[in-house]
């Protein structure tokens, strides 16, 4: 469990993608939570509790959400009083097959979300994407046009795909469209399997936590 100082220097925290379970199809369904049943949704309750007790905005990375017979890769955003402000279901699912290296098909497990998510919080207007959502500039452009001050992309790239894609994509999003307005990008690119090693800020605008 993440414990933060109540100092006003900390106003927002963000979790990683699928922080509550191994990012494997064998575990995702097992750890899935129905957010409508808060008593059984332990990760959901934890994020709300952290937000309320520490009086901070929580961008909850993502957890596996069960809705009917479908699973979604979902990011919840909580206000400083623990209230659920919004949830974003990952729109762009990541399917890849690198012969001799890695095969991963997120679409075999999750259904895709359909709606962009922008939410007003104590720290400003935030647009939400999850990991592979960063590849698509149209989503960031929409958030920019709707007045986002911050775009959050909790992620979980592994070494193979991360080295090929992650840094390039973060630079691309910073240059366009976010450089056109005062719009900051916050990334959380770690993974439970192989944490991408060294990260750096891009043009002093992108903040990375590993």
Higher pLDDT, 160 or 144: 144
Spatial neighbors of 145 by CB under 8 A, at least 6 apart, are none
Residues 194-199: what's their mean pLDDT?
39
Q: Catalytic residue, from 90, 106, 178, 190: name it.
A: 90
90 is catalytic: yes
* pLDDT-above-70 percentage for the chain: 71
Q: Which residue has the tokens 């997120």?
A: 106
DSSP string, 117-144: EEEEETTEEEEE--GGGGG-HHHHHHHH
- What is the pLDDT, as a whole number, of residue 100? 76
- The gap between the terminal CA atoms of the chain, to the nearest Å, is 17
Q: Catalytic residue, from 131, 152, 178, 183: name it.
A: 131
Q: Where along the chain do its domains lie?
A: 12-208
In order of 108, 119, 143, the CA distances from 79 in angstroms are: 33, 10, 20
Q: Catalytic residue, from 17, 65, 106, 167: name it.
A: 17
Tell me, letter by letter, the H, E, C secondary structure of 60-100.
CCCEEEEECCEEEEEEEEECCCCCEEEEEECCCCCEEEECC
17 is catalytic: yes
Write b or e for each residue in 28-53: b if 16 or more Cβ atoms lie within 10 A of its Cβ, otherwise e.
Answer: beeebbebeeeeebebbebbbebbbe
Question: What class has domain 12-208?
Answer: alpha beta
Task: Classify 106 as helix, strand or coil.
Answer: helix
- What is the pLDDT, as a whole number, of residue 108? 92
pLDDT at 179 over 50: no
Higher pLDDT, 156 or 91: 91
The mean predicted confidence, pLDDT, of the chain is 79
């Amino acid at each position: 469990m993440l414990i933060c100082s109540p100092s006003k220097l900390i106003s927002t925290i963000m979790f990683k993608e699928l922080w509550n379970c191994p990012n494997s199809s064998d575990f995702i369904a097992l750890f899935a939570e129905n957010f409508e049943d808060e008593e059984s949704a332990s990760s959901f309750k934890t994020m709300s509790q952290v937000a309320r007790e520490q009086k901070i905005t929580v961008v909850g990375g993502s957890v596996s959400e069960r809705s009917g017979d479908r699973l979604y890769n979902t990011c919840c955003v909580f206000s400083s009083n623990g209230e659920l402000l919004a949830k974003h279901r990952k729109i762009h699912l990541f399917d890849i097959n690198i012969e001799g290296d890695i095969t991963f098909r997120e679409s075999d497990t999750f259904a895709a979300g359909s709606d962009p998510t922008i939410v007003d919080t104590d720290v400003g207007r935030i647009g939400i994407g999850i990991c592979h959502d960063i590849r698509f500039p149209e989503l960031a452009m929409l958030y920019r046009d709707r007045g986002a001050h911050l775009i959050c992309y909790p992620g979980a790239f592994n070494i193979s795909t991360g080295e090929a894609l992650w840094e390039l994509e973060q630079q691309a999003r910073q240059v366009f469209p976010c450089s056109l307005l005062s719009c900051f990008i916050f990334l959380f690119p770690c993974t439970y399997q192989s944490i991408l090693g060294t990260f750096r800020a891009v043009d002093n605008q992108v903040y990375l936590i590993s």
